[in-house]
Every structure is written in structure tokens, then in C-alpha cells.
């Protein structure tokens, strides 16, 4: 999902990157729950499943993907799927 600026950068790690086919996406700023829903709808179904169990982090703060909080232009959201080990 790519759009013109201003944007929010979504960085994808591990299986989230594999499921989306990209390490980084640019999305429109908006309410977090809407941004998450748009990501899930715009990418392959496998990504939506990974996104549903992943942690979202921005500026060191864990985000609740169901919250309707503003995500401003220039923000960076990391999608961290669950992982085993260290």
C-alpha cells in the first residue's frame, strides 16, 4: 500500500515482511484502527493473519491496534510478529 506524502512508515519484520512481500510500506496518516484495517485489507490474506497476532510499536511505545488514536504524518510503526527464543 503506497500513497503520496505525507505518510506514515510501517516497518515489517520477520514473517510479517515475508507475508507482505516488503520490508517497509508507506501509508496515509490517520486513526490507528483505520490504518491497521486498511493494511489488512490491502495486502495478501496471510499478512492479515500475521498482523492480527503482531505487536505494533511506535517510538518505543506499544500500540493497541484496536485503539482509535491519531497516527501523524512522519510516524514510524514497527510490526513485530511473535517469535521464540531470546
Task: List the beta bridge partners of residue 27.
Answer: 8
**Could you read off the pLDDT of 20-30 as tens digits, one per residue?**
999 999 999 99
Residue 38 CB partners (closer than 8 Å, separation 6+) = 1, 27, 28
Question: What does the pLDDT read at residue 83?
Answer: 81
In the chain, where the domains are located = 1-7+22-75
DSSP assigned state of 59: T
pLDDT in tens, 29-47: 999 999 999 999 999 999 9
Q: What is the spatial distance between Cα 61 and Cα 25, in angstroms, rounded to a whole number?
A: 20
Residue percentage of the chain with pLDDT more than 90: 87
pTM value is 0.88
Predicted local confidence at residue 4, as pLDDT: 52
Amino acid at each position: 500500500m503506497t500513497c503520496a506524502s505525507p505518510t506514515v512508515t510501517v516497518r515489517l519484520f520477520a514473517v510479517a515482511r515475508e507475508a507482505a512481500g516488503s520490508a517497509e510500506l508507506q501509508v496515509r496518516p490517520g486513526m490507528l484502527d483505520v490504518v491497521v484495517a486498511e493494511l489488512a485489507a490491502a495486502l495478501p490474506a496471510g499478512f492479515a493473519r500475521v498482523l492480527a497476532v503482531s505487536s505494533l510499536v511506535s517510538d518505543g511505545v506499544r500500540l493497541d491496534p484496536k485503539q482509535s488514536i491519531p497516527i501523524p504524518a512522519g510516524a514510524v510503526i514497527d510490526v513485530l510478529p511473535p517469535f521464540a527464543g531470546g
